[in-house]
Structures are given as structure tokens and as C-alpha cells.
Chain A
Amino acid sequence: MKNLKYIIFLLVVLGAASCKQDELKDIGPARQVISAMKGSWSLNSVIQVDEYAKDKQFPFTTVELTDLYPYREAKLTLNTTEDHKPSTFSISFGNSPKFLKLAQGNWTVDNNDAPATMTLKSGTTTDQITIGKYGLLDQGQLLLTVKKYQVGSKGEKTLVLSNNYYFKKAN
């Protein structure tokens, strides 16, 4: 019986000694979002989201607008500096509705490493755009969302609708 104790103890010690630290796989280099956004993009689809309805779990929350007007004629070019920072942009709308105020100017982001919003600016005119899922960039797509807010009497903002513009990389 006494020996059994020692055997168990020995097994536990051996078991513990046999453990080795798992090597974590390298997660690879950080995603270069700005570099991935650089280049020419063609508008591929436009989807309107009723954020007010979505928030209240109403049944009708999206409408596809792509074929309503020649949205696919819109082309966006995003340029960057040599050190991969946002610089200038241009948009050629063609016959597409002009869904942004600006056609050219400078673009900036809130965070160069993990941008969530981009600002298009020319003079005092600006367009605020939300950058969509980074995963789409790996598939050659760029989602830009223009959000619309209702502003209350005390200045409180409520998101009521979004227009999602899905671009695809132009070759």
C-alpha cells in the first residue's frame, strides 16, 4: 500500500515532467489595411440598411439599390504616401448618383494601424465614412459605409440608416 503511494506520486511527477510548453504558431505580420486600401476601386453594389428598423428587430431592414441607377460607373482611387499613409483620393461618378459630396481631395483615417473611419476632405468640405470589415480586403473588396444620424434636441445622435457601398478592386 505504501509502495502504491510512491508509485502514484512518481507517475504524477513523471506526467508533469513530460509536459512541454506548446509552441504558439506565428500569427504573421500585422495586417496592412492602408496598403490594402490603396489603389483603384469600382463600385460593385449598394445596399441601404434601415438601422432604426434593425435596432427594433423589424422585419424589413435592407434594400438593394445597385440596379436602381448606374452606380457601377463610380470609380474610386485611393493614393498613399511612400510610408503607407493616406494621401489623395479621387472619385469619378460617371452617371452614378453622387453619393459623396467630394470628387477629389485628401483622405485621412482615425488610426493608421486599425482604421475604423476615413475622412475625405477638400477645403472645408468633408465626408465621414466608416470602413467595413478588413476581411473583405483580402477578397479584393472594400466596404465603405455612409451613416446617417438623427440628432435630438439635446444633441444626442441616433443612427437611423446606413448606405453600404461595396467596391471591388479594379484591374
Chain B
Amino acid sequence: MKRIYKLSLIAFFCLIGITAQAQKAQIKYTVTPGVFTPEDEVILEIDLAGSSLAGKEPYIWAFGPGDAITNTSWTSSPDIAKFTKVAGDKWKYIFVGTSFYNKGASEIIGKPFSFLVKTKDGGIQSEDYTPTKFSPILFVPTLFRNFPIRTSQYDALSLYLDQRYTVSPNNQRFSPTSINIRLLDPAGQLVGQEKKGLPIVKQKDGSFGYTFLPEILFAIPEGKIVNKAVYSFTGTVKDVNGSTVPYTTEEAEVVFLDLK
């Protein structure tokens, strides 16, 4: 008798499990772009037609690198979790990984982007889906490099020349000695005097660099907005006759951001 009771109990819970499983909607979806970094804008489009979520207002519940900011309450998803209607049962949701998960890119890179679609109260939900992982954001070495990558006119700026990363024979073989820098305002007008022939320093990795504070080097007037720094490296190179002649690279630029 006791055994029958136990078996009934097991069967009962199995039935509940099967019923719960049956309630999970199977939906169609697309993710654009197919491969994305934590900083790319991603568009998730869903089609609820033919599923138990058809005709309902869908909300996203996302996970993978942790809970997304949309995962506040299962029984009452916030408005930021709601998809935007495209047409009929087609909806879309747009996000950027770092702000969506409220994490730095390094905490998201390599982690899966997983989601499910639900009604606001969580009464109906889809299966879990994991379309892809977040891709790393690659560093690409180049002839010119600035440090920091994102900077303002009020912060120290380092400009580097690495001759290993160029296809131009002259850029590869010239002997760099100095740098020319000029600052431009948003209208493209020169700010202060252009600085020419500033001595560069050889770095441990073989590149050449120059570091400066724009406001000191160029004596920028208080309140003056600087849009960018334009620079080129100079030195000498042997010409076809074997004579040493001056050489200047093409120009590169750094755009200043309004950092807070």
C-alpha cells in the first residue's frame, strides 16, 4: 500500500513536470549581427506566431554573463524588458552587452548570450535559447598608436610610432627623431602654435613615443574646446643616391572626447 502511495506521488510530480515543459513556447528568432562583441548593438527579432506566446506582449529574460538588467522580477518584468512591436507577432529587442548586463566587456567576453521570452507575469515562457557567445574585441597593432585610446584634451596623451606595422618601405626604414603636433578646434582652426621637431623617446618594445599634456604644451586658453590632435613623425632616410634626406610620415589624428 505504501509503495502504491509513493509511486502515485512520483507519477503526480512527473505529470506536473511534463505539463510545465509543455507550457514552454518554441519561437523563431534571429540575432543581428550574428557575431558581436559586448560593445556592439545587437538586434534580437522574434516571431511568436504558432506558439503559446502568440498574441501576447513579450518580455525578455536574459542571462549568460549573469542576469541582465531586465531580470528584476519574474512575475512582473519591467518596461525595459519589453520587446518593440514590428508587425503582427513579430517583435524586436535592441541591446548593447555592456549596458544590458551592466558589466565591463572583459566580464562578458567569451560568455554566452542566453535568453528566453515571457509574458510580463511569467505565466507563459519560451524555451531557453543561446544563439552565440560574446566575441573578444581585438587589439590590432598599427604604425600609429595613441594612449589612452579614448581621451580628452585635459589628459596626458602619448603618441607612438611602431615601424613594424607598415607596408610603406620609407615608413619601415626611416630613422625617426621627432614628432610634429598641431591641435584643431571643432571648426578646424589651429589652436595655439603647431609644435614641430619635438624629440621622441625610444620605447622598450622598439617603438618611438612622445607624451604630453595638451593644455600645457599648447597653452590652451581656459574654456577653449579642442577637437583633435593631428601628428606626424619626422626623421631621415637614405634616398636612391645614398644621400641622407629628411622624411616625414603621413599624418594621423586623435579625436578628443568630452569625458566627465
Binding site for B on A (CB under 8 A): 48, 50-60, 63, 65, 68-69, 97, 148-152, 156-158, 160-161, 163
The stretch that binds A, out of B20-28, B85-93, B150-158, B225-233, is B150-158
B136 contacts A by Cβ under 8 Å: yes
Q: What is the CA–CA distance of A65 and B148 in the complex, to the nearest angstrom?
A: 12
| Alpha-carbon distance between A37 and B212 when the two chains are bound, in angstroms | 31
| A50 / chain B contacts, CB cutoff of 8 Å | 147-150
Q: Are B148 and A161 in contact (CB under 8 A)?
A: yes
Task: Confirm or deny: B111 has a beta carbon within 8 angstroms of a beta carbon on chain A.
Answer: no
Whether B105 and A60, one on each chain, are in contact in the complex, defined by CB atoms closer than 8 angstroms, is: no
Across the interface, A69 reaches (CB within 8 A) one of B109, B150, B216, B260, namely B216
Question: Which chain B residues lie closer than 8 Å to A97 at the CB level?
Answer: 213, 215-216
Given the known interface contacts A149-B259, A158-B98, the answer about A60 and B213 at a Cβ–Cβ threshold of 8 Å is no
Q: Are B151 and A161 in contact (CB under 8 A)?
A: yes
Residue of A nearest to B99 (CB): A156
Nearest A residue to B216 via CB reads A97
User: Which residues does chain A contribute within 8 Å of B258, judged by CB atoms?
Assistant: 151
Query: Closest 5 interchain pairs by CB?
Result: A50-B148, A148-B259, A160-B150, A58-B139, A56-B137
Report how far A152 CA is from B109 CA in the complex, Å.
21
State whether A60 and B106 are in contact (beta carbons under 8 Å apart), knowing that A48-B156, A161-B150 are contacts in the complex.
no
Q: How many A-B residue pairs have CB under 8 A?
A: 78
The reply to whether A149 and B151 form a contact with Cβ atoms under 8 Å apart is: no
Across the interface, B139 reaches (CB within 8 A) one of A59, A156, A158, namely A59
10 sample A-B contacts, Cβ–Cβ < 8 Å, listed by A number = A48-B156, A53-B139, A56-B105, A57-B109, A63-B158, A97-B215, A148-B259, A150-B260, A151-B260, A160-B148
- Let me know if A60 and B145 touch, CB within 8 A: yes
- Residues in B244-260 with C-beta less than 8 Å from chain A: 257-260
A53 and B105 within 8 A (CB): no
Is there contact, CB below 8 Å, between B139 and A56?
yes
Among the listed B137, B155, B213, which residue makes an inter-chain contact with A68, where contact means beta carbons less than 8 Å apart? B213
A50 to B152, CA, bound (A): 12
User: A63-B211, A65-B156 are known contacts. Are A55 and B105 too (CB-CB below 8 A)?
Assistant: yes
Closest B residue to A59 by CB, please name it. Answer: B139
Report the Cα distance A158→B96, complex, angstroms: 12
In the complex where A52-B150, A55-B105, A150-B150 touch, is A161 in contact with B155 (Cβ < 8 A)?
Answer: yes
Cβ-defined contact, A60 with B212, below 8 A: no
Indicate whether A56 sits within 8 Å of B216 (C-beta atoms), given known contacts A148-B259, A161-B151: no
Which A residues are CB-close (under 8 A) to B152? 148
- Are A68 and B149 in contact (CB-based, < 8 A)? no
Among B109, B139, B150, B213, chain A packs the most CB atoms within 10 A around the CB of: B150
- Chain B residues lying within 8 Å of A51, measured Cβ to Cβ, are 148
Pair A56/B148 contact, Cβ less than 8 Å: no
106-143 of chain B: CB within 8 A of chain A = 106, 109, 136-137, 139
How far apart sit A63 and B259, CA to CA, in the bound complex (Å)?
Answer: 19
What A residues does B98 contact at CB under 8 A? Answer: 158
**Docked-complex contact B155 and A148, CB < 8 angstroms:** yes
B237 to chain A, nearest CB (A): 27
Residue of B152, B212, B216, B259 with most chain A CB atoms under a 10 A cut-off:
B259
A69 in contact with B213 (CB, 8 Å): yes
Q: Which residue of A58, A60, A65, A158 contacts B211 across the interface (Cβ within 8 Å)?
A: A65
Residue of B nearest to A46 (CB): B156
Shortest C-beta distance, B199 to chain A (Å), equals 13
Instruction: Please give me the residue from chain B that is nearest to A49 by CB atom.
Output: B148
